[in-house]
Structure 1
Amino acid sequence: MAALDELTTEAPAEPPSRGLGPGRALIGVGRRLWRWLTSMRTALILLFLLALAAIPGSLLPQRNLNIDKVNQYLAQHPTLGPLLDHLWAYNVFASPWFSAIYLLLFVSLVGCLIPRLRAHIAAVMRVPPEAPSRLDRLPAHAESLDLPGDPAEIAGRLNDLLRKRRFRVKVREQAGGGLTVSAEKGHLKETGNILFHFSLLAILIAVALGSWYGYHADRLVVQGADQGFCNTLQQYDEYGLGARVSPGSLEPFCLDLTSFEAKYLSNGEPSVYKAFVDYTLGDGPAKSTTIQVNHPLRLSHARIYLLGTGYAPVVKYTDKYGHSQTEVAPFLSSDAMQTSSGVIEFPDANVDPAKGVDPNHKQQVAFSGIYLPTVPSDPSVGQSAFPAERNPALMLTEYQGDLGLDAGIPSSVYSLDQHQIDTGRLNKVGDPIQLKPGQTKTLSDGTTIQFLGTRPWATMQVRYDPGETLVLVGAVCLLLGLIVMLLGRRLRVWFRIPPQGPVTAGALARSVYPGFTAEFESIVQDTRADQSRPTSRGTQ
């Protein structure tokens, strides 16, 4: 009953605890959020989220890469397209939510790595710890090591032996007159780990710099001073600008393709591609250089790469009024043998000089063509036999009517508008013709077409990435850190040398690895085999 009374008796009321003020509560919440943000688990989650966030940028057209495809997608998806546009789906890598994940990942890595770096530096500067009191409880241990000599001699031999094995060694005197030898190695493993993660951080910074301040653009350049280009967006076939790059910030230069050298192996594979170019920087003098594959022209804020080559037929057309026009039309290659196809357009043909341009004029002329640098022995094959011009021929099909150039709709310069053909506004005329260089053909309406020859063209890519050097250094350091991290082994070894009696030893690994026990036994065997060697006395 007494016990029951004790249990049912109310406990005396505790004095009310002093509540935390709002300032301290906010500080506490902030600390917990900071600890959560700077944990390695959070960094991995953010890295996974960043990969997920990049998926829309790979699946959907992006404005900084191809604005025409974005507009086409919006036209094809009138309901979903505008909704995705509000979510920055067509400019993913400059969107606020992608930038937020990127910034959080950056802060998480910095907050995670700085304390680890400080702890690692402190661990490297610290001497190996004292030997545990019970070495026999360690994962690897050895007892009854009968080593000759007094404790100082034994400690000296152990010191020399372990230092040869790249251990850091500390000899300590004990209260009872004995000695302990503490040895440690493997800090390089943690160094590699930290180097790996800092390299990853450097790559993230470099990618951000390239995304913000880098750009790329492609241009097909035909040989000739009249076919050159300057570094302006209007003269590129396609381009992509970084989030912080404006059209006016591009490096001012102009470039002309003066000649092109291509050599091929017997099987048609290219062996040499050389583009000989003239270029000017701003108002500076013209300079000449050679651009090869993997050997770009390096400017201060641009790299000009050679990507490919092909042929541009030069065709002269004389209409029924005697007006002649000459066009240089680059044809695109469809196979490794440079079988090429393209379109040659004459929108100003067949205009009566007495009447001028008629708004209802529907006698425009175009030729759809295939160019074979080397006509095969069987022309019905329809493909070139070799990429070099050994037996060239140009096959053309004439079309007359409305080319659709005045409709205001973007169209390809390498193919005819199929809609114009399907609607009957552009009609095929006559049979296909074949021309050799220098040949002239009179068409059914009395007009003539002459194949003057070809000019080589080269595809140039202009790129600027301010983070490319940092990416290279970061990638090399990342691989180096990964190798060191995987190959490094963290190991501590202790020897206890009593004033009299056998020596005991023990070892502990930061993480048990295959070969840990064998390495410890090898150290013990070397210790026993090292009994007769002169010792270095003294403690550290």
Structure 2
Amino acid sequence: MSVQELEKPRSPRPAGLGPVGWLRWGWRTLTSMRTALILLFLLALGSVPGSVVPQRGVEPDKVAALYEQNPTLAEWYDRFQLFEVFGSAWFAAVYLLLFASLVGCIVPRTATYLRELRRKPPAAPKRPARLPHSATFDGELTVEQAARRLRRMRFRVATGDGWVSAEKGYLRETGNLFFHVALLGILVAIGAGSLFGYRGNVLVVEGDGFANTVAAYDRFTPGSQVSAESLEPFSFQLADLKVSYQVTGDRKGQVLDYSAHLKVNDSPEAPARDYQLKVNEPLDVDGTQSYLIGNGYAPVFRVTDGKGQVAFEGPVPCLIEDKNTMTSGCVVKAPDAQPEQLGFLLRFLPTSVPLTDGSHASAFPGELNPEVQVLGAFSGDLGVRSGRPQSVYELAPPEVMKKLNPLLMASDTPKPLAVGQSVDLPGGVGKIEFIGVKEWITLQTAYDPGRVPALAAGGTAVVAIALSLMIRRRRVFVRIDAGKVEVGGLTRTEGSAAAFAEEFTDIVKVLAAGEKDVR
């Protein structure tokens, strides 16, 4: 290597993108159509667990049952926020990225679209016969006549010296643009519902009432802008619940219909009105909708303590253990019992039948022969006054309760209690009596101000995507020279050349026809 080569200055190394370059690259990537489609797919994919895994806001009883049956799986579900999919951090991240992507896509495309609308069609080429679709005919057609006839076919027209240029199909881009705007509108509507809406779940037993207040809900999920005063002040009483079942055939026991008879007061001053609440037919009070989402049985028990006083009396909602037969598990707590608090584990059988081994099971979900099995009786501290939260469907841990052996539990297969029967506890500490059966319903009350805008945006998206798929961009050029007319046409939409061929033939016929034929 020579001295001159050593002293020759080297070309500078290419500089990196730098912070501004990386930001520009990130924004372009985020606002690209490919990224928007990926985010839309992720949003749809992320909604799948919300349909498969029970959600706390909709099915809290199933969430509790999953914790009992498979606590390890339930903990993993909770760790990934699968019990609250639509309120999870990862779902919100995809939602916000899609929102930003759509905004970044719509704004420049709108500007480009508006410029295209103001731009006139280009001048006709000198040789229209070279275009994919062409035709030539002789006639006394003038530029003004050709322009007028093309306008009648809804073409945008520009004219020049001996030529006419026409363009059609701008609604395709309009539909494409409105589709993206509609998607953005759906996201905004969902966001508005999250901010200003609320959801609540409540269980109501026959004969009991409900008032739309925060304290009355078993679970209440408000938006960040919702206060206690935001709730619509309506109330109702559950007068009766009727559930009809298929009684014969292969589908015996299948539910045919649910109907809850409510006495509704739209406001504290309004008179009561009757309303039949059904599945997918919610109670609507000024935009607040209450949906029937579940039902079950609430056997009525009376617990008498060792001093002969009634320590507990009332209906006890039971968790469904078998949906096909409505076999349900119940927990009765009598914290006011003296001298010791009492608790009971029970199983309710709507249609009890004896089995060959001497046990009993429910054969039908309807209430035909209701009986209750006493699975366990306990005395001791129930822990209801400890200040710690406790499920109404669970007793205190066995180590703090003393198990009792009622008379009817002397064998492994005790006879269940029918309505009106009771069982005494040993040592004279009390007894429990099965005195009747009521039913309960679970409701989801929801107020969502974005519901109607989301529906309107969804309808707009359907119409817009139909326009973008059905309409084709096409151009027609006409050259007139000494009685010779050359017509050329082309389509600006891929895959639509064959469909345009027939339309182009009709256009040529209209141009070649006499003035009286095209009016």
Which TM-score tier does this pair reach, normalised by the shorter chain? 0.7 to 0.9
3-state SS in 2 of match to 1:151 = coil
Are 1:328 and 2:282 matched, yes or no? no
Contact 2:175 2:466 in 1 (8 A): yes
TM-score by length of 1: 0.72
Q: CA deviation at 1:53?
A: 13
Aligned partner of 1:44 in structure 2 is 36
Moved more, 198-207 or 124-133: 124-133
Q: Does 1:365 align with 2:351?
A: no
Matched residue, 1:215: 198
* CA offsets 1:269-295 (integer angstroms, 9 cap, x no match): 222222222344553244233222112
User: Are residue 343 (structure 1) and residue 331 (structure 2) matched?
Assistant: yes
Where 1:483 maps in the other structure, the secondary structure is helix
Flag the 1:367–1:498 CA change in 2: closer, same or farther, 3 A. Answer: same
- Counterpart of 1:141 (choices 117, 133, 137) is 133
Q: Please give the per-residue CA displacement for 1:434-469, whole angstroms capped at 9, x wherever unaligned.
A: 122223344444544322111111111111111111
Larger radius of gyration: 1
Alpha-carbon deviation of 1:135? 3.0
Q: TM-score, normalised by structure 2?
A: 0.75
Asked if structure 2 preserves the Cα contact closer than 8 Å seen for 1:276 and 1:288, the reply is no
- Alpha-carbon distance, 1:205 to partner: 0.9
Cα 1:98–1:399 change in 2 (3 A) is closer
Instruction: Kindly provide the amino acid, as one letter, of the partner of residue 343 in structure 1.
Output: V
Q: Percent identity at matched positions?
A: 32
Cα distance in 2 between the residues matched to 1:289 and 1:202: 37
What is the deviation of 1:309?
1.4
CA distance in 1 between partners of 2:55 and 2:258 (Å): 32
Partners of 1:270 and 1:63 in 2: CA distance: 24
Quote the offset at 1:346 in angstroms.
Answer: 1.8
Matched residue, 2:297: 311
1:374 lines up with 2:351 in the alignment? yes
3-state DSSP of counterpart to 2:499 = helix
Report if the CA contact (8 A) 2:405-2:425 is conserved: no
What does residue 395 of structure 1 align with?
373
Residue by residue over 1:252-277, the C-alpha shift from the partner in whole angstroms, topping out at 9 and shown as x without a partner, is 33332122222223322222222222
- The match for 1:229 is 210
| Pair 1:199 & 2:192 matched | no
Corresponding residue to 2:280 among 277, 284, 294? 294
Note the C-alpha offset of 1:220: 0.7
1:103-502 aligned at under 5 Å gives the runs 106=99, 109-110=102-103, 112-121=105-114, 123-124=116-117, 127-138=120-131, 140-142=132-134, 145=136, 147-152=137-142, 156=145, 160=149, 166-168=153-155, 170=157, 172-174=159-161, 179-224=162-207, 227-266=208-247, 267-280=252-265, 283-290=268-275, 291-300=277-286, 302-324=288-310, 325-333=312-320, 334-349=322-337, 351-352=338-339, 361=340, 364-376=341-353, 378=355, 383-406=361-384, 407-417=386-396, 419-420=397-398, 425-426=402-403, 429-430=406-407, 431=409, 432-446=414-428, 447-501=430-484
Residue 358 of structure 1 aligns with which residue?
none
Question: Deviations for 1:28-66, whole angstroms, at most 9, x for unmatched residues?
Answer: 99x9799859954597399479959989x9899999999
C-alpha deviation, 1:527, in angstroms: 5.8
Preserved CA contact (<8 Å) 1:403 1:426: no
Structure-1 separation of matches of 2:441 and 2:483: 86
**Which residue type is aligned with residue 309 of structure 2?**
H
The 1:38/1:504 distance shift into structure 2, 3 A limit, reads: farther
What is the distance in 1 between the residues matched to 2:258 and 2:446? 20
Structure 1 pair 172/248, CA: closer, same or farther in 2 (3 Å)? closer
Specify every segment of 5 or more residues in structure 2 that has no aligned partner in the other structure, as ranges: 1-19
Equivalent residue in structure 2 for 1:535, among 512, 515, 518: 515
| CA contact 1:397–1:428 (8 Å) conserved in 2 | no
AA aligned opposite 2:306: K
Aligned pair count reads 471
Per-residue deviation, 1:409? 3.1
Kindly provide the amino acid, as one letter, of the partner of residue 362 in structure 2.
Answer: S
3-state DSSP class of the match of 1:276? strand
Give the letter aligned to residue 289 of structure 1: D
In structure 2, what is the Cα distance between the partners aligned to 1:326 and 1:93?
A: 39
Between the aligned partners of 1:424 and 1:308, the Cα distance in structure 2 is 32
| Distance in 2 of aligned mates of 1:528 and 1:292 | 61
